[in-house]
Amino acid sequence: MSIVVRTLSERVFEVVRERIVDGTLPTGLPIRQDALAAELGVSKIPLREALARLEQEGLLSSHANRGYFVRPMSMEEVDEIYALRLAVEPAAAAYAASRADDAARAAAVEAFEALDNAANSKLAEVAVCNRDFHVALVRPGGRLLTTQLVERLSVIAERYVVAHLEPAGRESRAHKEHRMLLDAFLAGQGDKLEALLRQHIQATLDDLKVQFAAQAA
């Protein structure tokens, strides 16, 4: 029974996370747990487990006697997320590229192809595949804490990835940049990969700053 409950909680987590990322669950309003549980056809126990995990992931916040709320997107959070990514991810990927074996390289190719195939899907699915690809470039380094940090930052960044990809032409540019990242990784060119990944992350940050500034104007 416990295995079934954990599996159900995981599925609820995925559904609610997707609704947060694609904006279906709005900010500023408490999540109506009774209604959401009924809609998903589950009890409140797996839903509460999923909500608690989403709070740990940084997508929700909880308030005493008020429940869970979707954390609002902000330029301050963008700056923090991407500053951390720039500080950790490029060097971690370069380190991993020099230590990747055939299985790790195959996993990176698979992650890239999944991201490529998701291009015409919902942006929330693209964001998940984007996260998987970036983590695949870091995991072969064998540094567990670093990999977990990159994955955690990627999860928190997913809503911003969706926002970044919404303007026309962004997915095409992202595809080209990811292809270059993959090629450098497969060739074991750590220095080149580090430079390309730093440019890729910085360009996304710069685009998001422009978008937030335009929204605030």
Between the CA of residue 152 and those of 134, 136, 192, 204, what are the distances in Å?
11, 13, 25, 18
Instruction: Please identify, in words, the CATH class of the domain defined by 2-70.
Output: mainly alpha
* Regions of the chain where pLDDT drops below 70: 1-6, 217
The confidence score (pLDDT) of residue 1 equals 38
The confidence score (pLDDT) of residue 87 equals 98
Please give the model's pTM, rounded to 2 decimal places. Answer: 0.85
Domain assignments of the chain as residue spans, ordered by start? 2-70, 75-216
**With left for phi above 0 and alpha for psi between -120 and 50, is residue 41 left, alpha or beta?**
left
Q: Judge: domain 75-216, CATH 3.30.360.10.
A: no
Cβ neighbors of 118 (< 8 A, separation 6 or more) are 125, 126, 128, 129
pLDDT in tens, 119-176: 877 788 888 899 999 999 999 999 999 999 999 999 899 999 988 888 877 888 999 9
Q: What is the DSSP string of 111-147?
A: HHHHHHHGGGS-HHHHHHHHHHHHHHTTGGG--HHHH
The confidence score (pLDDT) of residue 2 equals 43
The confidence score (pLDDT) of residue 6 equals 59
Q: What are phi and psi of 94, to 5 degrees?
A: -60, -45
